[in-house]
Amino acid sequence: MWSLALVVLALVIVWMTNYAYKWKNPICNGKLPPGSMGLPLLGETIQFFKSQTTFDIHPFIKERMTRYGPLFKTNLVGWPVVVSTDPEFSHFIFQQEGNSVELWYLDSFMKLIGQQSLTSNTGAIHKYLRNMIMDHFGPEEQKEKLLSYMENMARENLSIWAEQESIEVKEVATTMSFGLGSMKLMSYDPSKYSENLKDKFTSFLEGLISFPLDIPGTVYNKCLKDQKRAIRILKEMVKERFYSDKKHGDFLDVVIEEMKKDAPLFNVESAAYFVFTVLFASFETVSLAITLAIKFLSEHPSVLKDLMVRAAQIILSLYALFCSEHEEILKKRENVGSPLTWNEYKSMTFTSHIIDETLRLGNIVPLVFRRATRDIQIDGYPIPAGWTIMVCPPALHLNPEKYEDTLAFNPWRWKGQGSNTASKNFMAFGGGMRLCAGAEFAKLQMSVVLHFLVTKYRWTKIKGGEVVKTPGILFPNGLHIKVTEKI
């Protein structure tokens, strides 16, 4: 009996040893990039989700960059991954979708956004859906309709902010951006539903960047529950709209028209997931960017001064009058209270620099995933087909070879570089065919809010502002400010 038990134990040990060896040394055609695959099954997932309290590159990435270089292998949640912090290779990967790579997300992420959302579609279908969004939210719509709508939104919300003793910026910015996004997407009226849709989205980002453990009491589990409730509300809206002849002039009208075609792209469920994804993308990143911009401006008064007041400077013994661009906009008007124009928006050069710098330092989208569909060679290393490639924008945005004093908030670094949406060294909105369709929409919304905030109001930081990155951004103590109308 004991002899049999010893034989079984020996076989188990041999199997486990062999499994552990294969885990740490995956089969490939050549020598894989340097790095560690971590523990069997778990990989290096725990280290990956460790939090930090600075805007620096996440320790998981930074330590491995130092040890292995700009390209290294790891394993996250059971998936073999090659991490790229190299601008050239990261840019190459974005250009290769549909050729040697495909869009990919962790299984935990896909459970949240749905298999049939915009982010999951590829090729011609993705291009078609992207064009649907651009037709409704693109530059022409921004110029003709959305600018005035955003102005009204900003005026109304800032007036409400000023009536309160203090506000928590992320919370009120989320309310404002969600109100804009949900109205333009689907004419959402919260009074018609027993549950408020916004509340179901609030925990979504936190769940996306949490450890994917789906058991009661975890952040991820709560996020899944909120997502299911949100999808249920959206499915009700889609069904109601599908059987109604009434037009609302919103994006859901476009989706419903698509559903009524002979060969529709959507059914009720896929339409709900599609709207869910677009709605989330339309408000969460914008509200976070607005919060970060106000945080940075509050902590860098010299930047705020350049935005708000006229200043004189002596440059090379020549006297130059340097006017704040927002006060200059008001000064040039015949009527100070006139609506904001498209040309005035386009004149906000320094504001554009502030937004770019906020996105560079804040790194709202810390990771982008693709999967190799065939073997890829890079610097003599193979990336086997089926492996995940993780591009790390913070490593590009905090590269000291490109950006001097990387952790300093310095909008002047963008002077003379024009409008930045995507480049090899700036990937705040992704890149390639997956470049965020709402990039310019987000910048316009931020610019409008900042314009009215600095021309009509003053604000004082009350408390908070600390951040935790996990690797996404959270404000554990909020960011509380007092907003006061100028007299």
The pLDDT of residue 310:
38
- Number of other CB atoms surrounding residue 419 within 10 Å: 14
Distance CA 137, CA 144 (A): 11
Q: What is the pLDDT of residue 153?
A: 94
Number of residues in the chain: 487
pLDDT at position 64: 96
Question: What whole-number distance in Å separates Cα of residue 11 and Cα of residue 92?
Answer: 46
* 3-state percent helix, strand, coil for the chain, nearest multiple of 5: 55, 15, 35
**What is the rounded distance in angstroms from the CA atom of residue 138 to the CA atom of residue 118?**
17
Token pair for 415: 């002077």
DSSP string for 390-422: EE-HHHHHT-TTTSSSTTS--GGGGTTS---S-
| Count of helices and strands (H, E) across the chain | 20, 14
Q: Give the β-pairing of 479-485 and 457-464.
A: antiparallel
HSE-CB for 479 with a 13 A CA cutoff: 29
User: Per residue in 98-151, pLDDT tens?
Assistant: 889 888 776 666 666 665 554 555 567 777 778 888 888 888 889 989 999 999
Which domains, ranges and CATH numbers included, belong to the chain?
1-88+364-397 (3.30.43.20)
Rounded-to-integer distance, Cα 324 and Cα 450, Å: 13
Confirm if 348 and 447 have CB atoms less than 8 A apart. yes
254: nearest Cα among 169, 373, 81, 131: 131
- Looking at residue 418, its pLDDT comes to 67
What pLDDT digit, counting tens, does each position of 40-64 carry?
A: 888 898 898 888 999 999 999 999 9
The label of the residue with tokens 């952790």 reads 407
Count Cβ atoms within 10 A of the Cβ of residue 400 and give its class: 0-12 exposed, 13-18 middle, 19 or more buried.
Answer: exposed
- Which residue reads 């193979």 in tokens? 382
197-222 burial code (b ≥16 CB/10 A, e <16): bbebbbbbbebbbbebeeeeeebbbe
Segment-wise mean pLDDT, segments of 10 residues, the chain, 487 residues: 57 53 66 90 87 93 96 91 94 88 74 57 70 85 92 96 96 93 88 76 67 77 85 92 91 92 88 87 87 89 61 29 66 87 92 92 90 90 92 95 92 79 82 78 93 89 91 89 91
Sheet with strand 101-103: strands edge to edge: 71-76, 79-84, 388-391, 368-372, 101-103
- As a whole number of angstroms, the distance between CA 35 and CA 109 comes to 24
28 annotated to bind ligand: no
Distance CA 432, CA 410 (A): 27
Query: Which residue, among 289, 288, 296, 286, has the nearest Cα to 408 in the 3D structure?
Result: 296
Distance between CA atoms of residues 372 and 385, nearest Å: 5
Contact 265, 235 (CB under 8 A): no
